[in-house]
Structure 1
Amino acid sequence: MATRGTTTASRTVRGTSSGARLVGIDAARGLALLAMMATHVLATFESDPQLTPTWIGLAFSGRAAALFAVLAGVGLALSTGKQQPLQGPELRAARRGIALRALVIGAVGLSLGGLEVNIAIILVHYAVLFLCVLPFIGLGVKRLLAFAAAWILSTPALAYLLRPWLLSADPPLRLGHNPGWEDLATPARLLGDLFLTGYYPVLQWVAYLLVGLAIGRLALSKAAVPFLLVAAGTVVAVSSKWLGIAMMEDWGGGRALEAQIGDPAYPLESLLQVNLAGVDQSGSVWWLATSAPHAGTTLDLLHTSGVAAAVIGVCLLLGRLGEWVELDLLLPIRGIGAMTLSLYTAHLCIMAALHNQPLAPGWTVDGVYWAQALGMLLIGGVFAALAWRGPLEWVTHAANQIGRYQPAPVRQASRFR
């Protein structure tokens, strides 16, 4: 999850355009956590033979996690020079800090991998993504957008070609569970799962961080930029989703894939609307034409990146609105966004404690979600008001500071003759 680097700055410059900008980023991160939690706790399909999608699945599946990844890139850009990327020794120090922060996040993720919980935990993938984008940290907007476009266009096809080879290995290079410490003993399988066969394939997901880095390098303090993000993000999201639907329904893609699956237990129409994770997307190039959530295709990456950009733009505008009316409208939600690693970890522990256990009398699944969401809003609001870091955010911040440490140059004493 995201760490604390940008949030502290937002408190120190509250009341400025820069402060409103960072408040909006924290708020977007908080919304992403609440949306991701909804997909964990609430049903994304109805319990009928057709697996009819619920509104939770239609609205949040695939988009919440992608928003997290894009925001990770935004946070990296804001902490490494914003519009002017760091260079030279400062850039090298920033990369060391990011690497150490990633190691802490990865260690938390591996520790949580032992939990018995029916949730795909993103933290180890998140940490690997941080490491993968280190070469791009010093780039400007234009080069980042060029790399992002190339990544979105090329990596889905590469993944389509490589996945069958990894899955045909003996044993297949797929974990089938959340990564844990024990998986370090089989590095080939772990890396294969993290990059290609797992729930959050790093190979394609690097694109999200590149998009986020490009957004973070924009002049976000300018009044027009949030509107640009909303407009451009909406156009990209709508057009890519429309093209994916047209390819499936009008161009014959859906019929070809249905004939390949041939299993009524997996109704393709519902899966394309909510979640393709776990479906063997091989044997037909039509899999590359879908825009389904968690498909990892070009259209999926475009759609979810566009949604993320639009959400970020809206949150930036709400942050400015709070500045204009001199009221922190986003305090609770930005408080959640400022300590997502701690709150996400707490959420996973709660869900693990409830896993395969009957709910207490009077409780419903909806109640479990709303209790956690309201509790997080309360905790986040208190921590934000008191300018506190979350406990795990404190650790990741310390790791980042250690990595960025640069000893002062030693000055030689002047010689008097």
Structure 2
Amino acid sequence: MQMTNAAPPAPQSRLAGLDLARYLAFVGMVIVNFKIAMGAENDGGWLSLLSGALEGRAAATFVVLAGIGLGLAGRKALDQTVSVSLRRAVFLLAIGLMNMLIFEADILHYYAFYFLFGVLLLPLSSRTLVLAILALNLAFVAMVFLFEYDTGWNWETFAYADFWKPAGFVRNLFFNGWHPVIPWLGFLLFGIVLSRLALSERRAQLALVGLGAGALAFAEGASFVLAHMLVPLDAEFALLVTTDPVPPMPLYSLAGFGAASLVIGLCLIVARPLGRWRILPLIVPAGRQTLTLYIAHILVGMGTLEALNMLGGQTIAQAVGAALLFCLGATIYANIWSLVFKRGPIEALMRKVAG
């Protein structure tokens, strides 16, 4: 099938807006991961509400942005994009599995399969991709009824018993891992659909903000109402309408689509004024090195926390503070690195190895 009509190439301000969104998604992921690693419990305060709102939303936004990047690359040269993406999927799988030895909530090995399936679906029309997104979410609900979702998990330690065995790996990858292909692939496909819009135009940007906010509000509101209706009947059925990332039910996906659209639309709108105020150039280098910084927040960030004996038993304020301090340091590093090199070290290695 043919792709839908593509918008003309976007100006640099649009690309900077996407880099800003990527940076904000990265900051959100660091906050969530530091909170988990530091064992910070929700205390009902505003920091708990903030970190709770980021759970699953920041990572979903990151995957949507990856889909936009894949879609934009495919518009320029589809055959080359397929070839390069397949090689990069192998690269991401390799470093993701190595990262799993340190950080069991790794997302990179999932990315490998998002790109593998995403690039194969790239030639399809936007309408077909939307249907695929719907099918992924319905398939996940069906799988929850057919299979035991808790298989392999120790929810007290967040350890997955048989991840390194073939059956456990496949189950974790497609069904009950932190970011399973079903339905998380839908976020990448949604990004491909967004890449076909005229994102440099204010009309499209405002539509992303409005529709994104509406989808997010509807998902959260519907979840609240339906959960209160279902809990008295059967608490397990209430899980079907949750917007929590585990398990990723359809309303969670809708909330993730809405949050991603809202953030991306706002970033595209504010990119130009932030550029005039000379704020955006300070952020863009970090937004273009997020693969390197993702690895760094585990090796350097969590490594430092371990050395300081801060993994476990910390407050939410300490977790958020440590995350923001790391992000500040990462932003400074990225600016200094960009003065000499065009790409981050891991990004450069991926380009050298995989194209």
Question: TM tier, shorter chain?
Answer: 0.7 to 0.9
* SS in structure 1 at match of 2:74: coil
In 2, the alpha carbon distance for the partners of 1:158 and 1:51 equals 36
Higher alpha-carbon deviation: 327-336 or 339-348: 327-336
How far 1:240 moved relative to its partner? 1.2
Contact 1:109 1:124 in 2 (8 A): yes
Contact 1:25 1:315 in 2 (8 A): yes
The residue that corresponds to 2:232 in the other structure is: 255
Contact 2:153 2:159 in 1 (8 A): no
1:382 and 1:202, CA in 2 relative to 1: closer, same or farther beyond 3 A?
Answer: same
* Residue 73 of structure 2 is aligned to residue 79 of structure 1: yes
How far 1:149 moved relative to its partner? 3.4
Give the root-mean-square deviation of aligned CA atoms.
Answer: 3.1
Contact 2:17 2:271 in 1 (8 A): yes
1:60 and 1:191, CA in 2 relative to 1: closer, same or farther beyond 3 A?
Answer: same
- Among 89, 94, 104, the residue aligned to 2:91: 104
In 1, the alpha carbon distance for the partners of 2:125 and 2:248 equals 26
In 2, the alpha carbon distance for the partners of 1:364 and 1:389 equals 32
Aligned residues: 337
* SS in structure 2 at match of 1:389: coil
How far 1:311 moved relative to its partner? 0.3
1:137 and 1:376, CA in 2 relative to 1: closer, same or farther beyond 3 A?
Answer: same
In 2, the alpha carbon distance for the partners of 1:158 and 1:134 equals 25
- Among 30, 43, 47, the residue aligned to 1:37: 30
- Among 377, 396, 400, the residue aligned to 2:331: 377
Q: With structure 2 as the length reference, what TM-score do the two structures score?
A: 0.84
How far 1:237 moved relative to its partner? 0.8
* Residue 252 of structure 2 is aligned to residue 300 of structure 1: yes
- Among 276, 284, 287, the residue aligned to 1:337: 287
Task: Report matched runs for 1:143-292 at 5 Å.
Answer: 143-152=128-137, 154-164=138-148, 167=151, 172=152, 177=159, 183=164, 186-249=165-228, 251=229, 253-256=230-233, 258=235, 284-292=236-244
In 2, the alpha carbon distance for the partners of 1:124 and 1:308 equals 21
Segments of structure 1 that go 5 or more residues without pairing to the other structure are: 1-15, 259-283, 402-417
Contact 2:29 2:59 in 1 (8 A): yes
In 1, the alpha carbon distance for the partners of 2:109 and 2:307 equals 25
What amino acid maps onto 1:354 in structure 2?
Answer: L
In 2, the alpha carbon distance for the partners of 1:165 and 1:36 equals 24
What amino acid maps onto 1:40 in structure 2?
Answer: N
What's the CA shift string for 1:17-58, capped at 9, x where partnerless? 52111111111111111111111223786467x999812333
What amino acid maps onto 1:344 in structure 2?
Answer: Y
In 2, the alpha carbon distance for the partners of 1:369 and 1:53 equals 12
The residue that corresponds to 2:309 in the other structure is: 358
Contact 2:297 2:326 in 1 (8 A): yes
Contact 1:179 1:190 in 2 (8 A): no
1:22 and 1:140, CA in 2 relative to 1: closer, same or farther beyond 3 A?
Answer: farther
Contact 2:31 2:319 in 1 (8 A): no
In 2, the alpha carbon distance for the partners of 1:399 and 1:219 equals 33
In 2, the alpha carbon distance for the partners of 1:179 and 1:308 equals 32
Task: Report matched runs for 1:387-398 at 5 Å.
Answer: 388-398=342-352
The residue that corresponds to 2:296 in the other structure is: 346
In 2, the alpha carbon distance for the partners of 1:45 and 1:203 equals 29
* SS in structure 2 at match of 1:138: coil
In 2, the alpha carbon distance for the partners of 1:337 and 1:162 equals 40
How far 1:396 moved relative to its partner? 1.8
What amino acid maps onto 1:378 in structure 2?
Answer: I
What amino acid maps onto 1:36 in structure 2?
Answer: M
Task: Report matched runs for 1:5-84 at 5 Å.
Answer: 18-42=11-35, 46=41, 54-81=48-75
Q: With structure 1 as the length reference, what TM-score do the two structures score?
A: 0.72
The residue that corresponds to 1:114 in the other structure is: 101
* SS in structure 1 at match of 2:29: helix
The residue that corresponds to 1:91 in the other structure is: 78
* SS in structure 2 at match of 1:313: helix
Higher helix share: 2
How far 1:135 moved relative to its partner? 2.0
In 1, the alpha carbon distance for the partners of 2:318 and 2:250 equals 38
In 2, the alpha carbon distance for the partners of 1:35 and 1:164 equals 30
What amino acid maps onto 2:111 in structure 1?
Answer: Y
Contact 1:257 1:287 in 2 (8 A): no
* Residue 288 of structure 2 is aligned to residue 309 of structure 1: no
In 2, the alpha carbon distance for the partners of 1:366 and 1:236 equals 27
1:315 and 1:400, CA in 2 relative to 1: closer, same or farther beyond 3 A?
Answer: farther
What's the CA shift string for 1:324-348, capped at 9, x where partnerless? x3x5432232222211111110110
What's the CA shift string for 1:335-377, capped at 9, x where partnerless? 2221111111011012045338525xxx954553233111111
In 1, the alpha carbon distance for the partners of 2:321 and 2:136 equals 41
In 2, the alpha carbon distance for the partners of 1:298 and 1:246 equals 15
User: Greater CA radius of gyration, 1 or 2?
Assistant: 1
In 1, the alpha carbon distance for the partners of 2:324 and 2:123 equals 41
* SS in structure 1 at match of 2:279: coil
Contact 2:231 2:237 in 1 (8 A): no
